[in-house]
Structure 1
Amino acid sequence: MNNMVTSLCLSVMVSILMFVHYTEAQRVFIVGDGTGWTTPQDPSTYQTWVSDKTFAVGDILSFDFQRAQHNVVAVPEESYTSCSSANPIRTYTTGPVNVTLTTAGQHYYICSIGQHCTRGQRLAVNVSGSGLPPSAAVSPGSNTTPPPPPSSPAATFSSASIPFFLFLSAFILVIFGHNA
């Protein structure tokens, strides 16, 4: 019985450590920080915002905007470059919206309302598939303006991860329970 309690304690501790590690790996980035997702006065606003950030699979981009004034359209690179929403990957019309980065590589977002994209309301991010920091986002043009201070992304987790941690705890308990 004492070995069962020890195994249970060990199982819970391992699960908690994995949970803490998982929640620290996933971050929420408020796109544009205090500016939000809007038509910027400076067309390089979002290029500057993204320049000092690194993104990894599992991170979340939070676009804060008002319905009917803006939208978020995930597009391929060609559509990003030409500010065209003709080939949308996904469109979000109600803000704020949280977009989870589920794959590594370049991700492109524009606002398709009016001339918002051509006026600078577009975002390109480079997402790393590992815990290693990727290079900064790639955007056309160069900007010599110093980037704003880095935002402080909040740690979050998905409620879908809870069953995984419960399963892991039970699995560890069974393994250690058989060896006791």
Structure 2
Amino acid sequence: MYSLMAMQRDQFNRVMVMILAPLMASLLIPCFCCSCSYSGVQYSVGDTLWTIPPTPDYFSNWSSSIFFAIGDSLVFDFETGRFNLVQVSKPEYDRCTAFNPINIISKGPAILPLKQEGVFYFICNISNYCILGQKISITVHNYCPTHNPPSPSPSPSSSPTPTSFPPAAVPVVPSSPSVPALSPVPSPISDGNNTEAPLAAKSSGAFANRAKIGFDFRGMLIFTAGCALLVLLFGEFF
């Protein structure tokens, strides 16, 4: 009688081992892949207003110091009627022209969610403001960092209001009226008339919360399955 019960128990243990072993393997393998959840950061462009910068390379220097990722958003805070925001192609960005604009926003402030990777170009095509430096290129990465990228360099503590405005009678004289051959890139702008009030910019120290790496509930399942397997294999020794 005892030997029959022992044989039945051994058969039961073998069956349970055959069931639990693949289960543990299927749970353990995905755990080696870290799950990365990223909450986007909202940046106020230039850490100031979207206006004529103090130096022509001000916005370019600011943009190059920040790692933009899908899920982030940009706030272009400008005075309606005095400035605008135009998304253009690379050739027109270089020439400060907008003969074939991708998107035009004339009402500020504008919030632009970054929904796809790529390089996006923005200018203000009012008067000669673009030539004076009111232009910016944004490189968006489809990447979830596993470590904190270097913190952006501190922006100059300049006044958010423009120091001076050039005469409105000085228009931009385009070098060539031809339409650029480059096809417009898909616009990351969701709503051309987005007037939502901008949130507080989080450029400084924003990367501290960029990547959240961890394991999910699989660890608990693996522990439970492992304990059950050990009991089945070595229960007779306890």
Give the structure with higher Rg (CA): 2
Equivalent residues of 1:48, 1:147 under 8 A apart: no
Alignment of 1:87-102 (within 5 A): 87-102=100-115
Q: Which runs of 5+ in 2 are unaligned?
A: 1-34, 147-151, 156-201, 208-238
1:41, CA displacement in angstroms?
Answer: 2.4
Q: Distance in 2 between matches of 1:70 and 1:112?
A: 8
Alignment of 1:25-64 (within 5 A): 26-33=40-47, 35-64=48-77
Please provide the CA RMSD for this pair: 2.5
Partner of 2:203: 151
1:87, CA displacement in angstroms?
Answer: 1.3
Give the counterpart letter for 2:203 in structure 1. Answer: S
1:148, CA displacement in angstroms?
Answer: 2.7
1:147, CA displacement in angstroms?
Answer: 4.4
Equivalent residues of 1:48, 1:148 under 8 A apart: no
Q: Distance in 2 between matches of 1:91 and 1:54?
A: 25
Give the counterpart letter for 1:124 in structure 2. Answer: S
Q: Distance in 1 between matches of 2:122 and 2:135?
A: 6
Q: Distance in 2 between matches of 1:147 and 1:27?
A: 17
Cα distance per residue 1:82-129 (max 9 Å; x no partner)? 101111111111111001112211110000100010100000011101
Equivalent residues of 1:51, 1:147 under 8 A apart: no
The runs of at least 4 consecutive aligned structure 1 residues that moved more than 4 Å come to none
What TM-score comes out, normalization by structure 2 length? 0.47
